[in-house]
Copies of this chain bind each other. A is one copy, B any other.
Amino acid sequence: MSTPYVRLDKHAAAVLLVDHQAGLLSLVRDIEPDRFKNNVLALADLARYFELPTILTTSFEDGPNGPLVPELKATFPDAPYIARPGQINAWDNADFVQAVKATGRRQLIIAGVVTEVCVAFPALSALEEGFEVFVVTDASGTFNELTRDSAWQRMAAAGAQLMTWFGVACELHRDWRNDIEGLGTLFSNHIPDYRNLITSYTTLTAGR
């Protein structure tokens, strides 16, 4: 078995958000913009909901790559924020690695733009150092599907686990009874179909 089941644990996991910058986002074309924006914000919301240590990093944010999207800054006002002076692989930046290690977490949930560089490079480096790596594929974007497929293949071959934000949330939460309303709200805010289910359910059971 090349990659045994490694299960996310909310006490062992940290989130790395890499280069979700206003300029770079215009490069993302393997996923529709409304959906991508929603996925990135959903990942941010779940990181906050599960109180996972979260690290923000950007590449060259004073140049054409542009600033970090403001919603992420606003969601994590106190998170370590490493504006890399030039390193393309975030893992080549000592401050970033130090921030990661300072969390004390061994499971890294990574998303970013663009997938084959900003996500794949630190994911591969982290795997090399023995971390358990979970790539959030739907909160990561790149130029086109061909590029994405190549990047996924490379990361999976090296042992990364490919997940999506919804799977991450479910694996972290484990049991609805831990907080029904909290998880329901997260889903309702980021899954229109689920919100509709809740709307209909709430309406029908209102008078009971």
Q: Using a CB–CB distance below 8 Å, which chain A residues touch chain B?
A: 1-5, 7, 22-23, 25-27, 29, 31-38, 59-60, 63-67, 69-70, 85-89, 92, 114, 116-117, 120-121, 124-125, 127-128, 137-138, 143-144, 146-147, 149-154, 156-159, 161-164, 166-167, 170-171, 173-178, 180, 184, 191-201, 203-205, 208
Contact = CB atoms under 8 A, between A and B. Distances in A.
Contacts of A31: 146
A29 B192 CA distance: 13
Contacts of A127: 1, 5
B153 A156 contact: yes
A199 B69 contact: yes
Main secondary structure of the interface of A (DSSP, over half): helix
Contacts of A151: 163-164, 167
Given A66-B197, A199-B67, A200-B200, A117 B166 contact: yes
A25 B175 contact: no
A174 to B, nearest CB: 6
A87 B170 contact: no
A25 B67 CA distance: 19
Given A32-B34, A121-B171, 13 more contacts: A33-B193, A59-B176, A64-B184, A64-B200, A69-B199, A92-B174, A116-B166, A116-B167, A138-B150, A147-B166, A150-B163, A151-B163, A157-B161
Contact of A164 (B38, B64, B116): B116
